[in-house]
Amino acid sequence: MNTECECRQLIHTPRRIALTGGPGAGKTAVLDVIRRSFCRHVLVLPEAASILFQGGFPRHDTAAGREGAQRAIFRVQDELERIALEEQEAAVILCDRGTVDGLAYSSAPRDSFWTSVGTNHQAELSRYVAIVHLRTPAGAQGYDRSNPVRRESAQEAAILDARVLDVWSEHPKRSIIAAEESFAQKVEATLEAVRSELPRCCRSHAPDRPSTRDCA
């Protein structure tokens, strides 16, 4: 639950941040803390892939199936962000993955993927003012497969993590959080990235240190 905010500004200029990383990097747990840490002007969007796959979107292990799924994920992500922007209540929109992530999961050439969804790489990078990448731990470091949507092995997750790192590499403002960092350090780094993009009227409600007491 968001903390109370005395900010009386009704309309902000929203700034988007993408929280990304390979499978099992800890995004869900980090976002759970962040939802409770900031005022109501920080909006955390759900992950588009989870919405689709938990809702029954088919996961066919074929080229057509994989590419179709990534196009669908892109369009759901695009609409989630569009709604958040048009409602004009958020100062920061924190996205659980960004539209560029689809390129890492696609087997199509880069230009072909972007053409299929009607955009280009630079346009998608420019959506986000900052990127926070949580690295995926190796199997020996505690790779977690408890998420029912996650199907990758530790080796496959590591490959995807490297691909995600690569597709965002041209973004000018990126924080990379090593897999060896503690959970508290991961949360704190993400909090700082969000805090730096808040308007002054909301910064007094941003925590100096994350509270992880309710998280595993």
Task: Summarize pLDDT for 13-23 with one digit per residue, the tens.
Answer: 899 999 999 99
Task: Summarize pLDDT for 30-77 with one digit per residue, the tens.
Answer: 999 999 888 889 999 999 999 999 999 998 989 999 999 999 999 999
CA-CA distance, 106 to 108, in Å (whole number)?
A: 5
Q: Where in the sequence is the domain holding 192, given as residue range(s)?
A: 15-203
Residue 170 included in any domain: yes
Choose among 133, 156, 130: nearest CA to 145.
156
Task: Summarize pLDDT for 85-121 with one digit per residue, the tens.
Answer: 998 789 999 999 999 999 999 999 999 999 999 999 9
Q: What's the mean per-residue pLDDT of the chain?
A: 87
Residue 112 included in any domain: yes
Residue 196 included in any domain: yes
Residue 66 included in any domain: yes
* Beta-strand pair 15-21/92-96: parallel
Mean pLDDT of 156-163: 93
User: Residues 176, 133: contact at Cβ < 8 Å?
Assistant: yes
pLDDT of residue 216: 32
Residue 81 included in any domain: yes
Residue 4 included in any domain: no
CA dist list (Å): 216 to 26, 33, 137, 147: 11, 11, 16, 14
Percent of the chain whose pLDDT exceeds 70: 83
Residue 176 included in any domain: yes
Considering the entire predicted model, what is its pTM? 0.87
Crossing angle of helices 183-195 and 27-37, in 10° steps, is 50
Residue 36 included in any domain: yes
Domain count, the chain: 1
The answer to whether residue 175 scores a pLDDT higher than 70 is yes
User: What's the CATH code of the domain at 109?
Assistant: 3.40.50.300
Choose among 47, 177, 75, 196: nearest CA to 129.
196
CA-CA distance, 58 to 212, in Å (whole number)?
A: 36
